[in-house]
Amino acid sequence: MPQLATRTANSSQELQVVFFTAKEDLLQRRIQILIGNGKATSIGNDPWLPTTPSRAPNLLPTTDPELKVEALIYPILHQWNEDKLQSLIQPEDHHLIRKIFLPLKDEPDSHLWSPTKDGNYSVKSGYWTATNMAINDETPQPPLAHSPDIAASIWKLSITPKLKHFLWRVASKAIGTAENLRRRNINVNPYCSHCCNVLETCDHTFFTCPYAVSVWRAAGLPINQLCDPDTTIEDKLRQLFKINNDGHINRSTRFLPFWIMWRLWKGRNNLVFNRKAITTMETVNQAATDTKEWLDNAQKSDLTTRTAQVTKARREGWSKPPPGIMKCNYDVSHHDGNRASGLGWIIRDSTGAVLDCGMGKFQGRITTEEAECTSLIWALQAAWGLGYRMVEFEGDNQNINRAINEMRPTPRLHHYLETIWAWRQHFTLVSFKFKPREQNTCADILAKKAITCNNDWALYRSCPFFLFAAVNNDIGSGN
């Protein structure tokens, strides 16, 4: 069995005891190979994709599964070879491979323990994994483990908590439709109470039932994809999230779909338990009223919150570096799934003047910490390339700064930290500091704007127009 990166020598010995004494090597299913040079890892037989649990990618029919991962890597550039990905790997796994950061020097493949956030093995996590894995079954997965982007999108929505929990139950198949109840051996009528012709599933209840279709149509929302029986409910939810994030659509229309789903469910329950049918227009009007009431209350709350945030930001604003030292703030706009993420960094002097800044979009990483490290690595490279040798680097992720400054063994971030520590040696004076989000506004703006920018990246040798207000606010509140 390969050596797994662990927190201490003792935990390494404990892990070995667990693996070699277990009757079934169940825990080995939770090891993920961390790709270095890819020379020791088989493309199709070893678990190296950053999934839960880790697995090998799906290969094209002509690909030899014994081929090593190094065949997918440019040896000099240490980057993924897009041509090789296209010719060897199934397209659905390309984005997962692109999310894997490759070290900038030749390093052997290593291993991490996937159940923990940092990749270190612990007795507690090993015991939990062993007791929660059935010998002949797949490991129990938390709800939405295979659709983390949907879970993240739900909890980020600016809607009432009851709606978030409702959407989470729909997405995780925990809502009380006939299909879900019968899966739990509860004997109920399997057919839809509205049309009485089709089995009651989540997709049918909320999207494809003739009654639901009439509601979506009456609300003036696009029904081509939402009511398409061949589109999965996961993709339909993603479509609703896309509508909600579209700033060109008025706010009531962006939030209306979630209240429509809520009212469809309330109407279904009224029909099942009270034998009371609600008309299409009643459902639409109730959803519209719910949306308006929520937005009116939310706007009042937002105004109060923004006022408090502005006051706090002015009281605890961005701090200027000492004379002769530059400050580089960096940030990432992280998105799960097969969506672009954004990077941003900005370099300023002791007066607060912008010297250089940059933004770019990329495939993203699996975790926020990995994405933050990617942003910092670009900031380090850019600062050095622009000739700065005495720099303070500030980010808003406490875990990253602790890992860098305390030299913590963190298997999941191993390649990132090694790269950061290597670049640190190129500077005459360098430090890594944590600051709250409100003191990292400019880098945050750059990272978010990068995603909507037409170009993959942009560099500025002075302050861009869209940053004027934020930079001036930092100068005014700086100390």
Calculate mean pLDDT across residues 156-183.
92
Decide if 127 is inside a domain: yes
Strand 326-333 relative to strand 390-395: parallel, antiparallel, unpaired?
parallel
Same domain, 124 and 155: no
Q: Who contacts 59 (Cβ-Cβ below 8 Å, separation ≥6)?
A: 43, 44, 65, 88, 89, 90
Same domain, 88 and 170: no
Calculate mean pLDDT across residues 60-73.
96
Same domain, 158 and 117: no
Three-class SS of 281-315: HHHHHHHHHHHHHHHHHHHHHHHHHHHHHHHHHHH
Q: Which residues of 399-438 are buried (b: 16+ CB within 10 A; e: fewer)?
A: bbbebbeeeeebbbbbbbbebbeebeeebeebbbebbeeb
pLDDT band at residue 191 under the 50/70/90 scheme: very high
CATH number, domain at 439? 3.30.420.10
Decide if 351 is inside a domain: yes
Decide if 13 is inside a domain: yes
Same domain, 80 and 192: no
Average pLDDT, rounded, for the chain? 88
Phi, psi of 151 (to 5 degrees): -60, -45
Same domain, 13 and 126: yes
CA distance 371 to 339: 13
Decide if 141 is inside a domain: no
Decide if 369 is inside a domain: yes
Same domain, 341 and 465: yes
Please give the tally of structural domains in the chain: 3
Same domain, 272 and 330: no
Residue 140 has pLDDT above 70, yes or no: no
Same domain, 290 and 338: no
Q: What is the pLDDT of residues 228-249, one digit of tens each?
A: 988 999 999 999 999 999 888 9
CA distance 299 to 76: 53
The whole model's pTM is what?
A: 0.62
* Cα dihedral sign, 384-386-392-394: negative
Same domain, 340 and 274: no
Domain coverage including residue 82: 9-131
Q: What is the pLDDT of residues 129-139, one digit of tens each?
A: 766 654 444 54
Q: What is the pLDDT of residues 260-284, one digit of tens each?
A: 999 999 999 999 999 999 999 999 9
pLDDT band at residue 477 under the 50/70/90 scheme: confident
Same domain, 83 and 212: no
Q: Could you tell me what percent of the chain has a pLDDT over 90?
A: 70
pLDDT of residue 274: 93
Strand partners, 343: 332, 360
Distances from the Cα of 450 to the Cα of 269, 353, 361, 386, 411, angstroms: 45, 21, 6, 21, 29
* Cα dihedral sign, 191-197-203-207: negative
Q: Which residues of 111-128 are buried (b: 16+ CB within 10 A; e: fewer)?
A: bbbbbbebbbbbeebbee
| CB contact at 8 A, 124 and 55 | no
Q: What is the pLDDT of residues 321-343, one digit of tens each?
A: 999 999 999 999 998 888 899 99
Residue 254 has pLDDT above 90, yes or no: yes
What's the gap between Cα 189 and its chain centre? 39
CA distance 5 to 415: 12
